[in-house]
Chain A
Amino acid sequence: MMRRTAAAAVALLWSFGANVQELKAQELKAEVIHWWTSGGESAALKVIATEFTKAGGVWIDNAVAGGVNARAAAINRTIGGDPPTAMQFNTGKQFDELVEAGLLTDVEALATEGKWRSLIPEAIAKATTRDGKMYAVPINIHGQNWLFYNKAVLEKAGAAEPTNWTDVFVTLDKVKAAGLIPLAFSGTKTWERNLFNAVLAGKGGPEMFEGIYGKRDAALAASLEFKDVAETYAKLRGYVDVGSPGRNWNDATSLVIQGKAGMQVMGDWAKGEFVAAGQTAGKEYGCTVLSDKGGGYVMGGDVFAFPKLKDPARTKAQVLLAKIMLEPETQIAFAQKKGSIPVRLDLDTSSLDLCAQKAMKWLADKNQQIPAQELLSPPDLTGAVEDAISQYWNTPSMSADAFSAKVASILKASN
């Protein structure tokens, strides 16, 4: 009898203890919805997850490939009343309406405590702030207007590394003369727009870039300078190969990797393909940003937003997660695996690859920081411009005047 009571008591105490453990673990559970599913992206995410676990949290992974899918799933969950702990967005305007509907919780307290605004580029801080409060934690910066080139190909063609949108045509001509594909290109709407933005940022300059996408200045779109940009863009048509329409961006990078093409304009995520093929920045391939007006690194990236939760335990998990994301060690390790650069500009980046180090040097100068299109325009406007750019690229008979008029009318309609 005594033994049974004792046993029962022990069992009770033990289960109580176990419950406390469970409670403790339950306290810091974080369900995260994101779209990082490839090998490299997964390794980068693991950095954050490991730090979070070390600090006592429990990471519940909810990955959905395809940014659109992940965002749709997260948004549906949030408005359905069962929000995740954290959800991923691109730096920009994708979560505007969630803030307006009061569904997100702000991280302003953390931002003030960690002095984030003084550490990250102003444009990024602005992009995550609504009504003076920060509503999302930026985790990285992806450069969108890189030019990657195969060193051997350029050497063989006797061409130098291009520096701006004028001498790049010299290089392209030389590669063409050598019988190789000058510009490896992925002919889908997203990358047609990306190439255009690279020309706009480089040849048009930061002011024009922000004038068109940020201020939506229709008069600027009708200006001679803009038409000049459009004509430079159109000229590039002659340097892509016949198989470019519809091609995946990785297949285009592949052409550069194998030495079948000279260069590609792509975001820094392309480095993942070079790495997978065993190539190193600075050795087999080079990276640079073309610029006529003295600079301009187009910054995009990813952020995490935190829905308003009723459970105080899960809110604690959110705070912990947010803090960890901007810690120096996390930032560096993440950047190494992801191919992006840290969003904090005050770190020692000697462990990152050559291209990343170049980028950090540029970003030290405020004038080089160009916010990407997503930071300035709502998704709908970006889409309308994208349709126009794609049409222009694929219709050789369309003049720069017609294109510029089209963009001007789109901007006017959006105001």
Chain B
Amino acid sequence: MPARLLRLPSRFVATLALAPAFAVMLVVYIGATGWTIWISLTNSRMLPGNVFVGLRQYESLFANERWQVSVHNLIIFGSLFVLASLALGFLLAVAIDQRVRGESLLRSLYLYPFSMSFVVTGLVWQWLLNPTLGIEKLVRGLGFEAFRFDWIVQQDMAVYTLVIAAVWHASGLAMAILLAGLRGIDEDIWKAARVDGLKTWRVYVSIIAPMLGASFATAAVLLSTAVVRLYDLVVAMTNGGPGLASEVPAKFVMDHLFERQNLGLATAAATTMLITVAAVAAPFLYWQSKRQRLLAR
């Protein structure tokens, strides 16, 4: 380490270390977001243009039936997906933490879905959930003639098939994050709990889980970003169908950005998503900064 750096006050070095992040955020993210918001106020089609049209794109966006369905679907999908992935991830992490045999193999098994491109895994799930090819056909073939599992072809159930495939894809990651958190917990906690004679599962639920707050938060945020950006899976599994039943906002943005050559509408949709996220995140962050100030005392 260069000696002169050591002589600089550490807080200054900290600010310096944050400089690249600040720069990137400003130029790239804020800049690009600003550009996106500007374009949503123009009538741009395929190429960005500068003809200001006020809030016209937003008007047509909110009147757009497909957009309304997309938002509705995302709320359903989002809440189920995040809860299920966190729950399953936690259970898997705890189960693996019991020093079971074949831990490495199991961990890799739960993680491998995350490693594969959705284009093909989405197709596989489509096959598995298609009543003429997959699980329904299998179970009926075993003799249960009345068995039905055709959610993917039904308008009001298609969204739930997305949840199944997405949980399969992401709960391994949730498991990894929670496992990392678990392994960072002081072993003294365990010793104390044993002394108190608590059952293992009780320790997990009442003591360990609350201590994993930060890990849960990290996992929840990562999963939530996946929810808002959900696109590849929908295209590969149902392509938004049947009809509009499994449309989602990110797909709306992408379709209008590229295929339908309507930059104005696409950026209006993206800006709406952004404002919604900011509105949800703002109170949380405010609470966070208050907390930090309290803790620092």
A interface residues (Cβ-Cβ under 8 A, vs B)? 68, 71-72, 75, 79, 94, 96-98, 101, 187-189, 241-248, 378-380, 382-383, 387, 390-391, 393-395
Contact = CB atoms under 8 A, between A and B. Distances in A.
19 contacts: A68-B258, A75-B46, A97-B47, A187-B242, A243-B130, A243-B131, A243-B132, A244-B153, A245-B152, A246-B126, A246-B239, A248-B123, A379-B261, A380-B265, A382-B260, A383-B256, A383-B259, A387-B244, A394-B155
Interface string B139-172: 0000000000010110100100000000000000
Contact of A393 (B45, B243, B261): B243
Nearest to A181: B132
Contacts of A97: 45-47, 261
B11 to A, nearest CB: 41
Contacts of A379: 259-262
A199 B238 CA distance: 24
B261 A187 contact: no
Given A94-B261, A97-B47, 10 more contacts: A68-B259, A75-B47, A98-B47, A189-B240, A189-B241, A242-B153, A245-B152, A245-B242, A380-B256, A390-B243
Nearest to B152: A246
Nearest to A93: B261
Given A75-B46, A101-B47, A387-B66, A246 B261 contact: no
A74 to B, nearest CB: 12
Contacts of B65: 387, 391
Contacts of A395: 155, 243
A390 B260 contact: no
A261 to B, nearest CB: 11
B60 to A, nearest CB: 8
B132 A246 contact: no
Given A97-B46, A246-B152, A395-B155, A390 B258 contact: no
Contacts of B258: 68, 71-72
Contacts of A79: 47
Closest 3 CB pairs of A and B: A394-B243, A243-B132, A245-B242
A181 to B, nearest CB: 9
Nearest to A246: B238
Nearest to B150: A242
B237 interface: yes
Contacts of B260: 379-380, 382-383
Contacts of A187: 153, 241-242
Interface string B58-72: 000000011000000
B103 interface: no
Contacts of B265: 380
Nearest to A97: B46
Given A68-B259, A379-B259, A379-B260, A246 B242 contact: yes
B153 A243 contact: yes
Q: Which of B123, B126, B242 has its CB near the most chain A CB atoms (within 10 A)?
A: B242
A380 B261 CA distance: 6
Contacts of B150: 242
Contacts, number: 90
A394 B245 contact: yes
A65 to B, nearest CB: 10
A382 B256 CA distance: 11
Contacts of A75: 46-47
B241 A188 contact: yes
Contacts of B238: 245-246
A278 to B, nearest CB: 23
A378 B261 contact: yes
A383 B123 CA distance: 23
Given A379-B259, A379-B260, A383-B260, A242 B131 contact: yes
B255 interface: yes
Q: Which of B238, B243, B260 has its CB near the most chain A CB atoms (within 10 A)?
A: B243
A374 to B, nearest CB: 11
Q: Which of B123, B130, B155, B241 has its CB near the most chain A CB atoms (within 10 A)?
A: B241
A188 B246 CA distance: 12
B133 interface: yes
Q: Which of B150, B245, B255, B260 has its CB near the most chain A CB atoms (within 10 A)?
A: B260
B261 A390 contact: no
Contacts of A248: 123
Contacts of A383: 255-256, 259-260, 262
A247 B152 CA distance: 10
A393 B155 CA distance: 11
B191 to A, nearest CB: 54
B133 A243 contact: yes
Nearest to A392: B243
A142 to B, nearest CB: 18
A316 B93 CA distance: 63
B239 A189 contact: yes
Interface in B32-91: 45-47, 65-66
Nearest to B255: A383
Contacts of A68: 258-259
Contacts of B126: 246-247
A245 B132 CA distance: 11
Contacts of B132: 241-243
Contact of B244 (A98, A188, A378, A390): A390
Interface in B243-297: 243-245, 255-256, 258-262, 265
A101 B244 CA distance: 35
A245 B241 contact: yes
B280 to A, nearest CB: 28
A390 B46 contact: no
A246 B241 contact: yes
A227 B205 CA distance: 62
A373 to B, nearest CB: 13
Contacts of A391: 65, 243-244
A244 B150 CA distance: 11
Contacts of A242: 131-132, 150, 153
B134 to A, nearest CB: 9
B70 to A, nearest CB: 11
A79 B131 CA distance: 46
A383 B259 CA distance: 8
A245 B239 CA distance: 10
B197 to A, nearest CB: 54
A75 B158 CA distance: 35
A246 B241 CA distance: 7
Nearest to A248: B123
Contacts of A241: 132
